[in-house]
Amino acid sequence: MTMLELKAVNKFFNGWQAVADVDLQVAAGELAVLIGTSGSGKSTTLKMINRLIEPDSGSIRLAGEDIRSQPPEVLRRRIGYAIQSVGLFPHWTVEQNIAAVPSLLKWPKARIRERVVELLELLHLPAAQFLARYPHQLSGGQQQRVGVARALAADPEVLLMDEPFGALDPVTRGTLQQELLRIQALSGKTIVLVTHDIDEALLLGQRIVLMDKGRVVQQGSAQDFLLHPASDFVRDFVGQSDVGVRLLGLDTVASRMRPLQPVSGEPIAASATLREALSAFVARRVSSLPVIDAQGQPAGVLHFADLLPVAA
């Protein structure tokens, strides 16, 4: 089922075209990533979906319904929205912030409380510790988590995220990316996420949409982008010299390992990417690695040659 559909959408700012003829379809439960250089129209496209910006032409449908068929406020309460600068209300506690949309929807108090606690646990913020805190008492990463929790609060049909992890350090960003994947797997939410980090796009995006000067220049899976770039621009954007390594990043050790043979040395997790395996091979100067499963039990062995796909 198509959850979100943009057709021939255009947007002009003072006669200058910021978004040009964008067509986009996002299936229910899909995580789509909009990526592109600065000023390519990603945020504008995203904000047209929740009507923070009105398009000049074209149509946008949410769950089959034209988004203009209801007042913008009603539409926005059905759509979660998280942004890089978070924008938590500084005069409200974490609890009040997360409860914002459910309160607008007039949920009963008990249900709101329950939902807030549930979300805090989901985002690994112990409720007892964080409920009553004010935003200025949180670290940047914690604020970002609360921002995501607030966007998820009323169980929206679609989640829009504009560079949600852009301002974080690489470690925190990595953690939150993994959490987003986990939440998406758990809840099956339709998510549109904007980034300009190609690695983030390759990691998160089931569908990647590359924009340039307001136009969509290619969309498809991570493999499509790495193996079949549509133009030199796309090739440059995904980083020509790193294509091989990035391809390795898409598969896990589990997909290539061989059945158990005794091999000595420090093991690698079956869930690690082949990219991490390559790094381990080179750093440890070995040609084979023992593999362990999630329980720490020996699961198999990976040889250096296994990194090459059997049949391309």
Ligand X SMILES: Nc1ncnc2c1ncn2[C@@H]1O[C@H](COP(=O)(O)OP(=O)(O)OP(=O)(O)O)[C@@H](O)[C@H]1O
Q: Is 201 in the site for ligand X (CB under 6 A)?
A: no
Q: What is the CA angle 120-204-288, rounded to 5?
A: 110
CA distances from 62 to 2, 209, 217, 237, 300 (A): 8, 18, 23, 30, 46
Conformational region of residue 155, where left means phi above 0, alpha means psi within -120 to 50, and beta covers everything else: left
Q: Which of 216, 214, 298 has its CA nearest to residue 257? A: 298
Among 43, 96, 142, 195, binds Mg ion (CB under 5 A): 43
Binding site for another protein (CB under 8 A): 50, 52, 72-77, 81, 83, 85-91, 100-101, 104, 134, 147, 150-151
According to CB under 6 A, which residues from 85 to 144 bind ligand X? none
Question: Residue of minimal CB distance from ligand X?
Answer: 43
Of the pair 28, 104, the CB lying nearest another protein is at 104
Give the whole-angstrom CA distance, residue 258 versus residue 290: 10
Residue 198 binding: pick among another protein, ligand X, Mg ion, none (C-beta 5-8 Å cut-off by kind): none
Residue 287 near which of ligand X, Mg ion, another protein, none (CB within 5-8 Å, type-dependent): none
Chain length of the chain: 312
- Look at residue 231 and give its three-state secondary structure: coil
Kindly state whether residue 309 participates in binding ligand X, applying the rule CB under 6 A: no
3-state secondary structure of 81: strand
CB-wise, 116 or 194, nearer to ligand X? 194
**50 in contact with ligand X (CB under 6 A):** no
Q: Does 38 bind ligand X (CB under 6 A)?
A: yes
Binding site for ligand X (CB under 6 A): 13, 18, 36, 38-44, 196
